[in-house]
Every structure is written in structure tokens, then in C-alpha cells.
Amino acid sequence: MSNANQNNANRNLSQLQDDSREQINAAAASMTSFPGGFHAIATAYSDYTKKSFEDTRAFVEKLSGAKSVDKAIEIQTEFAKSAFETFMAESQKIGALYRDLATQSYKPFSDLLAKMTPTNR
């Protein structure tokens, strides 16, 4: 093999090793975002569950003290409205946490892909 071919093969091997190292680093960076993201999501679910349980307990107490059917319907209507609003707000919050986790997890790969994608200029 000529010196030019040997040098070219060495450069290709070196480039392949560099690319592999970058891919491993991107995967490692991606994995570091998972624990914090999952913890934030689990905490949000836990907080919502606690709040929902407390709201339901308070609703049952109020409902058991109702003196008339009209008052019971009013209490139930208030609870349903409040529960729905809380559910929607918490769903949006948790959805945003999932979106942030995905964004953080894929960012190292998008940077790597942008660097490896040829540009036509």
C-alpha cells in the first residue's frame, strides 16, 4: 500500500474514532437529563394526587353536611368545576415537564446530527 493510501486510511480511522467518541458522549449527556426529569414528573404526579385526595375529602365533608338537595347539587357542581380546572392545569404542567425532558434528552443528538449533516452551499 502506498504512503498516500496509508495516510488516507489512518485519517479515515481517526475520523471514525472521533465520530464514535462524539456519539458516546452525546448518549452519556442525554442519559444525565433523565433522573432529574423523571423526578420532577414523579413529584408533579404526587403533588396532584395529594391535592386531589384532599379536595375530594373536603368535598365529601361538605356534601355530608348539606341540608337540602339543592345545596348538595350546588356543592357537587362546584367540586366538579374545580376538579376539572385542577386536572387541566396539572395535565398541562405535567405535559410541559415531559416536553422539557424530551428536549433535554435529544439535544445532544441534535447537535451531533447538525454537525454531521452535510450542507449544500
Rounded to whole angstroms, how far apart are CA atoms 18 and 117? 16
Q: What b/e readout covers 29-64, taking b as 16+ CB neighbours within 10 angstroms?
A: bbeebeeebeeebeebeeebeeeeeeeeeebeebee
Instruction: Quote the pLDDT of residue 101.
Output: 87
Instruction: Quote the pLDDT of residue 115.
Output: 67
Q: Which domain holds residue 21?
A: 3-116
Q: How many structural domains compose the chain?
A: 1
Instruction: Quote the pLDDT of residue 78.
Output: 97
Instruction: Quote the pLDDT of residue 37.
Output: 84
Tens-digit pLDDT string for the chain (121 aa): 566 666 666 666 566 566 667 666 666 665 666 778 889 999 999 999 999 999 999 999 999 999 999 999 999 999 999 999 999 999 999 999 999 988 887 776 676 666 666 666 5
Answer yes or no: are the C-beta atoms of 1 and 69 closer than 8 Å: no
Instruction: Quote the pLDDT of residue 42.
Output: 93
Residue 121 lies in a domain: no
Residue 112 lies in a domain: yes
Residue 34 lies in a domain: yes
Instruction: Quote the pLDDT of residue 28.
Output: 64
Residue 96 lies in a domain: yes
Instruction: Quote the pLDDT of residue 103.
Output: 84
Residue 84 lies in a domain: yes
